[in-house]
Chain A
């Protein structure tokens, strides 16, 4: 009886270990799989050429990712520029100024926002943001715009990353030691001066981690951006130009990729590119956050 129970425990523990190893190694398996599939296009060209060329002619075997990379950078950049100040101000308000009730009312809606599927953000972008840009924003700056632009993609993405940034900043700001604030206030600083000169400085690593995490989320977002960006494979020169981010490129062309040689390899290379960048960004921000956590616990 005793040995059977112990044996059972041992077998189950080995099984669980196997599951754990398998699911953790998913990171490596995905990376290796995507790299393996990208080899043909890499043999045909070099990393440098793939990343800096603008010529995209799949039928001739020419794949230049530069316009797509720029499209991704524009959309992500706009999203961060819009979202970061808004989220920092919001988090400061609910942590430092507002009655706790405000936080209790606001946070559930922020959580609900984070649960809304990407495609719904896309539909909202088409129905609300596109007409807004086309009729009310763009006419002040350019002669004509359809509204489908990197700006539209940036705004939709900004709203999508609100919950992520706000919830991380909330945690970071709430761990700020009360003594620091008290010291600054006792020296005669106003509350805003305390925030500006003490809290924000102290919270900087947390803000950076939240930003890096938000960037990596924005990088990989596919369908919502695809629906509002215009998907024109040229390098955007203004916020009202259409762009064509990398994830949209992958999603839009999966239909033809098997019929043209090297095309599937090129698209898998795009996925590999996304994977590597996002992996790095994620690791960086997680390390900053866990360091912060340990420092606060100590």
Chain B
């Protein structure tokens, strides 16, 4: 009897320990980045592009990468939305009675979601070579769009499924066509669409492997789609690879900037999800 209780106690102790490790890892990571990055944070980091000797420790900032990342993530999210909203609507409203098919399609999007970004990057690179494009903002946006489509489709799909069937039935029974009903549904899920945008943007802004081949890198802020664009994660990666301490430090500070941006986006989307579902039930 005592052995059984001891065993129970022992495993309960292990469980608490494991929970602390899993929950604590978040604080450990964010804490480390803050601790190392904060001393190198300056206002110039946010407001200046790299100066002449930036990569040997002279002045400048990473504004080029911040703007570049905004362009890539923003462009990809917009393009992705244009493609995924119709797909999500089609899956939910035009495939009545074809449950097996629509569920199979959902699984395909789940599988696409699991494909790593390096494969999307390599494939994006193939497309660019095929069309004779060079590494550019446009190339980066295309590769990242492919990456965010499955995320957007699955998120929007979940959101549309929370819309009460009565709403659809009411619209349909009043004589609306399916497309007119879809417009009603789209209005009902507006907060959900914003959540999907935030999730997609957060994933797009943090990704390296997809932009590595396709967006290139530049010290200037891109002024057209055909110019190469720097991105924040790549800027972090390059600065960390430098042997000069000052440059490495700026890499930590850049990591801090990216962490803060992504945390804000994630927290916003979590809050929205909570509000949305509270509203529903």
Residues of A within 8 A of B (CB): 5-6, 8-9, 12-13, 15-17, 19-20, 22-24, 26-27, 30, 33-34, 37, 85-87, 89-90, 92-94, 97-98, 102, 106, 108-113, 115-124, 126-128, 159, 162, 166, 190-193, 213, 216-217, 219-223, 227, 247, 250-251, 254, 267-268, 271, 274-275, 278-279, 281-283, 286-287, 290
Q: Is the CB of A110 within 8 A of B23?
A: yes
B167 on the A face (CB < 8 A): no
Partner of B236, one of A113, A119, A192, A274: A119
Partner of B123, one of A23, A30, A251: A30
Give A190 to B17 CA distance when docked, in angstroms.
Answer: 21
- The distance from the CB of A143 to the nearest CB of chain B, in whole angstroms, is 25
Q: Is the CB of B116 within 8 A of A222?
A: yes
Partner of B114, one of A13, A20, A23, A216: A216
Show 13 residue pairs from A and B whose CB-CB distance is below 8 angstroms, ordered by the A residue: A9-B179, A16-B89, A22-B83, A33-B123, A90-B15, A90-B19, A94-B19, A116-B26, A119-B258, A123-B240, A127-B252, A159-B29, A274-B116
- The distance from the CB of A223 to the nearest CB of chain B, in whole angstroms, is 4
Task: List the B side residues contacting A23 at CB < 8 Å.
Answer: 83-84, 87, 109, 112, 149, 153
Binary A-proximity of B19-46 (CB < 8 A = 1, otherwise 0): 1011101111110110010000000000
B247 on the A face (CB < 8 A): no
Give A6 to B90 CA distance when docked, in angstroms.
Answer: 16
Partner of A34, one of B29, B122, B146: B122
B218 on the A face (CB < 8 A): no
Q: Given A123-B240, A217-B114, A223-B208, are A16 and B122 neighbors across the interface (CB < 8 Å)?
A: no
Q: Given A12-B179, A113-B25, A254-B213, are A30 and B115 neighbors across the interface (CB < 8 Å)?
A: yes
Q: Is the CB of B206 within 8 A of A118?
A: yes
Which residue of chain B has the shortest Cβ distance to A19 in the bound complex?
Answer: B86
Which of B52-60, B185-193, B260-268 has 4 or more CB atoms under 8 Å from chain A? B260-268
B77 on the A face (CB < 8 A): no
